[in-house]
Amino acid sequence: MDFAVVARLGLLLVRPAALVATMPPFGSGYTPALVKIGLSLLLAVTMAPLVAVPAVETAVGLAVMAGHELLVGIALGMGLRVLLAGAELAGQLAGFQLGLSFAAAVDPQTGARNNTIAALYGNLALFAVLAANAHHYVLRALARSYVAVPLGAGGIARSLGAAVARMLGAIFTIGTQLAAPIVVVLLVVELGLGLVTRAAPALNMMVVGFPVRLLAGLIVLAATVPIVVGAAHQAAPRLIDLASHLAAAFK
């Protein structure tokens, strides 16, 4: 098998492999490497009839094209990754307000230590997008990306900066929207505790305040679980569309 054939097969594999390595849940550390490789090969074989693979004659040309394909694949996988990041940010904010920021656990999605509320929100968002078949939207985006950004195309559009800004902004938008109910309720509780302190100065707020805040926060947390799931369900297609625009900036 000569260099040109191997290079063309390798190029065909790079974009799906980068997508799989980035997109949750397959991009997480607990997904076996064989599963990632197998899924990448399956996607590459599936997309092969739709893709015109350019001829590659030099190693330098192969490296440049492979790097470009890598960026496109990563961009496509960022939609669901941003959704989970936004949900985890909401959990971080809620956990901080609840006083549970010290209760940390290792997040299997990222391998980083998150508080338990952040892990809960992240897993809820992940289950919601899987239940909504959002991964099907990602596969459609992958197929369409070969039309918007043909394999072997090179360059960066001026819209790249704006696309990145929209993706980053989505993290903070989702995070603040999902955390808002708990934050608002706990601010009201804090206000109430402050009024009680003025009315009864002898009452020890250090003893009473924390259980009251925790109880109120947990009640709101339980009540907002359907909101988190519904928000993730609605946001997934929009974020995948943003990821497609980000990938298209590499045409």
Helices (H), the chain: 3-22, 33-47, 59-98, 116-131, 134-148, 160-199, 205-248
Length of the chain (residues): 251
pLDDT at residue 1 tops 70: no
Residue owning tokens 């015109």: 52
| Range 29-56 average pLDDT | 83
Mean pLDDT of 107-124: 73
- The secondary structure of residue 55, as a DSSP letter, is P
Nearest CA-CA partner of 250 in 72, 24, 11? 72
Q: Does position 69 have pLDDT exceeding 80, yes or no? A: yes
Dist CA 54 CA 52 (whole Å) = 6
pLDDT tens figures, 168-178: 898 899 888 88
In the predicted model, is pLDDT for residue 77 greater than 80? yes
Determine contact, residues 148/246, Cβ cutoff 8 Å: no
Distance CA 33, CA 197 (A): 57
Q: Give the pLDDT mean for 218-238.
A: 85
Q: Average the pLDDT over 7-18 and give the result.
A: 85
**pLDDT tens digits for 177-216?**
888 888 888 888 888 888 887 777 777 767 777 788 888 8
Least confident of 77-81, 113-117, 238-242: 113-117
**What percentage of the chain has pLDDT greater than the value 90?**
2
| Residues of the domain holding 76 | 3-248
Q: What is the pLDDT of residue 31?
A: 78
The answer to whether 178 and 231 are in contact (CB under 8 A) is: yes
Which of the four pLDDT bands, split at 50, 70 and 90, describes residue 32? confident
Domain count, the chain: 1
* pTM of the complete model: 0.81
pLDDT confidence tier of residue 16, bands split at 50, 70 and 90: very high
At 136-151, the pLDDT tens digits run 888 889 888 888 888 8
For residues 235 and 54, give the distance between their C-alpha atoms in angstroms, rounded to a whole number: 36
- Give phi and psi for 114, each to the nearest 5: -120, 155
170: Cβ contacts below 8 Å, ≥ 6 apart: 82, 83, 86, 235, 239, 242
* Residue-level pLDDT at 111: 60
Cβ 121 vs Cβ 91: under 8 Å: yes
Nearest residue to 242 (alpha-carbon basis) of 163, 129, 127: 163
